[in-house]
Structure formats: structure tokens, C-alpha cells
A and B are shown apart, each in its own frame.
Chain A
Amino acid sequence: MISRERLQGVTFVVAAIAVLAWLSHNFSANLVAKGITIDFGFLKEATSFPIGESLISYSSGDTYLRALTAGLLNTIRLAIAGIALATVFGVVVGLTARIGHPLLTRVAKVYVEFTRNVPLLLILVVCATVVRALPGPRQAWTPLDGVMLSSRGLYLPLPLIENGMALLIAVVLLIAAAWATMRLSLRGKNETGVFPRTGKLALSGCGVILVGLCAWSVSTMTLDRPALVGFNFRGGWSVTPEYLAMLFGLAFYTSGFIAEIVRGSLAALPKGQSEAASSLGLGSFLTLWLVLAPQALRLMLPPLANQYLNLIKNTTLAVLIGYPDLVSVGNTALNQTGRAIETVTIYLLIYLSLSLVTSVLIRQLEKRAQLVKL
């Protein structure tokens, strides 16, 4: 006799297949009726639209694939910078409550409530409007020589370093060497109880060379300062007003949630932890850094990962602000080619894999945090 569970399972499968069959029947009937075909060949065709900004070289007439790649890179660029900035804001706001000043605590609370109860789109629209309403390039706000903020975006001086690539490789190699020495020396210390002298020597050698290299490159570098040419700036390193608005808006919105996570997970630790640390004579910073933060991190990571994922998903709002992210470029491509099904499929696949990659990365991080034994 078939068990009841089995019967229910079979019923579920049959019903699901029936629904899916009905949907796909409608789908193919509609495709035939409207003469739509599914063909990703359009990706190789030439576009006829420009993209406001791109990390890879792109111009109107390149393939759709290249346009979408440029959009995806813009999304990733915005997401990474947004996560970094939101974390900084969030940690700062989350820690202000620990200072114990009632006024600061209250301000942090208002900050958190504001971000929680106002739609992100409103924040982004306001940011975009404010950035656009900044003074024009001729009246740009210049807090430091070479730093200019205007309705054309933010311009910063770009340091030009001779043999920059070689320098970068040297610095990376040095840091890797220092790290390896550190690990070896620590292993030595675990065995013998003393930090090996060769390790100390090698580490200080690395430090001296690093400082020397930096000093040398700073003394030889030239700054490419942005300058006003005609109606706009030339040179330097710049970000567009749309990017600025998106970055700041996203970071502000997400930082409220992160602040609450930081505050909450520190508050969730047993009081004895900080009391024990201060009775051992640790100051408030060392207590936080050595005792509370490592423990709070384990509580923090899962909800933090959620916020990072939200931020990545929220980069799609760029399409409503005019920053050329994946959806923005994709929608333009869709309007040009009429390839709705293909574009939508690309969105789904890309955002699902972005979410997946992020959650795998965070899970790695969580594993490392778990290794901190109590």
C-alpha cells in the first residue's frame, strides 16, 4: 500500500507539472501568435547608443554583449564601493551609542529610524537632485587644491607614479613576504616560546623597504590635477554625479541597518565580558577591539551578509536615477532590439549568481569567524 505522504508528494508533483505545462503551453502559443522568437544572437549585433560611463572602453557601435558587460561592471563597481562606504558609516553610527553621550545616542537613533522608515528610492531621488543642483563647473566647490565638487561630479587629483605597475607588484610581493614571515615566526613562537630573531629582522627589513619605496614614489610622483577647460573639467580622477548620488544614497540607506546590527550585536554580549576586560585594565578601545568585537562579529555576520545582499540588489534602482548599471543598459538594449525575454533572462541569471557568489564569500568569512575559539 502507498503511504499517505507518498500520495501527497505525487499529487503535488502532478499538480505542479500541470500548472507548468499550462504556463508553457500559453507561452509557446503566445510566442507563435505574436511571432516572437527567442534568440540570443542580438548580443553580437552592434548597438546604437552611448553609455554615460564605463570601466571598459565602450562606444556606440560596439556589440550588445560589450554594452551589457559595461553595465554589469558598473553595477559591481557601485556595489563594492557601496558596501565599503555603508560599512564605514554603519560601524561609526553603531558605535556612537557606546560613547555614552545621551545626545550622540539620540542622534544615532534618529539616523537609524530615518533610514528604516523612508523609501530608498526617495533618498536616491533626493541625492540625485541635490547633486544636480550643485554649483556649475565654474563655481565648483574646492575645499582643497585639485578637489572639485560641482554638478559635473567629483574631481580629484590623480597621482601619476613612474613605473607604477612595477611599484605595485613590489609592494604586493613585500606584503606577501611579510605575511609569510609573520606566520612562520608565530609558528616558531608557539614551539619555542620566543619570537625568532630572524623573523624580527626580516619583518623590520620589509617595513624599512616598504617605507622607503613609499617615500621614493611620493617624492617622484606628479599630481594630475583636474583643470577647467571650456565648460568642463579635464584630467584628474573623476566620478559622475549619478555615481556619486547612487553611492551616497545606497551607503546612507544601508548604513542605518548596519548600525543597528553593530549596536545590537555588541549589546547582546554578556555584560561580564566588558567588565572582566576593564577589570584586567584594558581601556575602552582595547576592550572593544580585543574582547567584544571578535565575539560580536560572529553574531553580526549573518544579518550583515543580508544587508550586503540587499545593497547589491538595490543597485538596480540606478535605472531610475540615470546611472548606467546592468538594468539601465539592459532596458536600453531591450527598447532598441525588442528582445524582452532574452534581456529578462540575463537579469535573472546575473542577479542570482551575484547573490550566490556574495553568500558563498560571506559563508567563508563566517567560517573564519567561527574559528575564533572562546
Chain B
Amino acid sequence: MSEIAITPVQRTYPSLKTRMSPYFKPWPHAIITVLGVLLIGYALVSLFGWAVLNATFGHATPDACRAAGGACWAMLTERYNIVLFGSYPAGEYWRPALAIVLVLGVLIASGFRQLWKPALAIAWVVVMVLSLVLMGGGVLGLEPVSTSRWGGLPLTVGLSAFGIVLALPLSVGLALGRRSKIMVVKRSCDAYVEIVRGLPLLAVLFVASTMLPLLLPGGNMIDTILRAQIALILFQAAYLAEAIRSGLDAVPKGQAEAAHALGLPDRLVSRLVVLPQAFRIALPAIINTFIESIKDTTLISIIGLIDVLGGARGAIADGTWMGFYREAYLAVGIAFFAFCYILSLHSRRLEQEFANERR
């Protein structure tokens, strides 16, 4: 047997000259490069001066901040509690913090297809109950905290995460309903999705906050947070249904036909063959809907709830720290951006993975 020499593939890197050429050729590009470098350099230098050199860190008074002239990070150290936890009792911050960690943990686990097992659904139920108990207290020696004091990050995370998870079953029903052969079902699901997608979320929140108490028995008994949660679920379900429908449409027709030919009843064809594939295809779109819903949660301030952004607005609204809006909004913006950007990277990676599998 003759030996086959295996030489490793040499990966060649383009020379510096080749890599730099689009910056300078054709000649107008050189002008853009010079101007761009100058502009970005100037911006970075002034940002550095503001955010680091002239900034005030740690604990400081507003006057000390004004004297320093730069960013007042002290404002965040003094006020982080309002931004993060709203008016939750100060001694109990570990409870919302733990609840957030739990929800984020199970949320991250849900982003991986390998972990899609019945246990995950159970984990969701457990986390929901646990986090509500943690936030509300009243049992296990935890001091009761009324929902009117809930606010900040727990509301943002909880409303968006529970919203998407609880909207999921509804949206699967809607998506399947839109493909139903029964006309009444198809028409009703079509109408629901189209009507909700035609409405602004702000109006839906508003409708929920005024109409829900009137539509349920017992008058005004329903909590504002619950109203917001129901509105978000009903709203997101319509968008999720579209995402799932696109997944359903992408499953080759032969799959269902083959399952039928094997003698599977309709119900099982959907559950065992079509839906799992549709979900896999739709996962990036579902994550994108989730990103939108995280951003959308900021709108709950219309019905008087305080999310992270509301907390930031509150932190600078009182007399002491007025005028330090840059720091507060920058911090909130970075937090939203980081979280949503990681999600969108994950969604893109899944899409790529799927495209590779298909090839």
C-alpha cells in the first residue's frame, strides 16, 4: 500500500496591501477614509474624555459631578436601585434579583434545540411559580410585597419572558388554525391575527387595562401587571403565529404525506412530524419576535407600570439628579442593546446552522 502524503491545507492570508486597498482605491475612497478616521477619532477622544477622564465614579453629590463636568457615574451608584427594582423594598432586593436569574436561566436553556424536552416545560412552570412567590412573598417567611411596588428589571424580564412562553401555545393554535380545512376556524384565526397585527401595542395595552376588568366577573379585581401580561400575550401571539406559520409553510409537503401514508392520524401527523420541524425552522423568527417583545415591554409605562426605562426616567425625575439623563439612558440603552444583540446573534447562528443542515 502506498502512503498518501497528506499535507495540511495552507490558509493564506491576504497581504496588508491587499487588505488596505479598498480603503484607498479608487481615489475618492481615500478621502472617505481620512475624513472617517478623523471623525471617529474625534468622537472617541471626546467620548473618552467625557466617560472616563472627567467622569465621577463611586459615591458623589450632584454638585461634585457638575464641577467635574464629565459623566456622572456616581448617579448610577446612587440610583441603580430605582432603575433596577423600582420601588421594591430596599432590604429585599435579593428576591427580585434571584427571580431574574431563574427566569434568565430557563430562558437561555430554551434557546437550544438540544434541550427541548418535556422537562423544559416543567422547568418553566416551576420557575414561574418560584419567581412569583419570590416577588410576592407572603409564604415561607417571606415578607409580602404588594404588586404595586413591583418594578424595574423584574417587570421587563418577567413580562417579556412569560409573555412569549405563554403566547407560544396560543400562537401554535392560531397558526394551525390558519391552515385548517374548516372554514370557520380558518376565518376566525385569520381575522384574529390580522386585526391584532393592525393595532398598535399601545392601544392594545390601553384596551386591556380598561376593558379587561369589565369583561371578567368581579369588576376591578384584576391586577394592573396581570392586565399588561394578558395584553402582551394576546399581542405577541399574533406575531408569533406568523413566525410559526412561516415555519409550517417551509416544511416540505412530502413529510405530512409520508406520515399519512404510514397511517398516522391527523393529530399525530401535526404533533410528531410537522410541528417539530416547523419549530426548528421558525426558531430564529421566534427569537426575533422575542427581541421585539423585550423592546415593546417599555410601553407598559402607559398604564402606570414602571419598567427599567421607567425606572431610569424616575431616577432623574426627582430634583437631585435632574439633568443627568445621558448617564441613565446610556446605561439602559447599553443593557437593552447587549441583551437583544446577543439574542439576535444567536438567532442568526441558528439560521446558519439550519441552512447548513439543509444542504
Q: Which residue on A lies nearest to B182, using beta carbons? A: A9
Contact between chains at B214 and A117 (CB < 8 Å): no
Among A26, A34, A313, contact of B216 (Cβ-Cβ < 8 Å): A26
Contact between chains at A118 and B214 (CB < 8 Å): no
- CB interface residues, B 297-341, toward A, < 8 Å: 298-299, 301-302, 309, 313, 325, 329, 332-333, 336-337, 340-341
Contact between chains at B202 and A101 (CB < 8 Å): no
Q: Which residue on B lies nearest to A117, using beta carbons? A: B340
Contact between chains at A347 and B203 (CB < 8 Å): yes
Evaluate whether A125 and B309 lie within 8 angstroms (CB atoms) in the complex, with A12-B184, A344-B210, A348-B203 already known.
yes
- When distances are taken between beta carbons in the complex, the residues of chain A under 8 Å from B188 are 12, 16
Contact between chains at B182 and A8 (CB < 8 Å): yes
- Complex Cα distance, B220 from A197, in Å, reads 78
Contact between chains at B36 and A118 (CB < 8 Å): no
Cβ-based interface call for B199 (8 A): yes
CB distance from B238 to the nearest CB of A (A): 13
Cβ-based interface call for A33 (8 A): yes
- When distances are taken between beta carbons in the complex, the residues of chain A under 8 Å from B58 are none
Contact between chains at A340 and B210 (CB < 8 Å): yes
1/0 contact string of A1-12 vs chain B (CB within 8 Å): 000011011001
- Complex Cα distance, B202 from A23, in Å, reads 23
Contact between chains at B336 and A352 (CB < 8 Å): no
1/0 contact string of A308-326 vs chain B (CB within 8 Å): 0100011111011000000
Cβ-based interface call for A172 (8 A): no
Evaluate whether A26 and B337 lie within 8 angstroms (CB atoms) in the complex, with A13-B184, A121-B298 already known.
no
Contact between chains at B295 and A120 (CB < 8 Å): yes
Contact between chains at A101 and B29 (CB < 8 Å): yes
CB distance from B262 to the nearest CB of A (A): 20
Q: On chain B, which size bracket covers the interface?
A: 35 or more
Q: Give the number of residues in A that approach B within 8 Å (Cβ atoms).
A: 54
Contact between chains at A356 and B198 (CB < 8 Å): yes
Among B211, B313, B336, contact of A344 (Cβ-Cβ < 8 Å): B211
- Complex Cα distance, B309 from A317, in Å, reads 14
1/0 contact string of B36-67 vs chain A (CB within 8 Å): 11000000000000000000000000000000
- Complex Cα distance, B232 from A356, in Å, reads 22
Cβ-based interface call for A116 (8 A): yes
Cβ-based interface call for B23 (8 A): yes
- Complex Cα distance, B298 from A27, in Å, reads 29
CB distance from B83 to the nearest CB of A (A): 13
User: When A and B form their complex, which 4 residue pairs have the shortest distance between CB atoms, in order from nearest?
Assistant: A355-B198, A313-B200, A117-B340, A119-B295
Residues of chain A touching chain B, judged by Cβ–Cβ distance below 8 Å, are 5-6, 8-9, 12-13, 16, 23, 26-27, 29-31, 33-34, 36, 99-104, 107, 113-114, 116-122, 125-126, 129, 309, 313-317, 319-320, 327, 331, 340-341, 344, 347-348, 351-352, 355-356
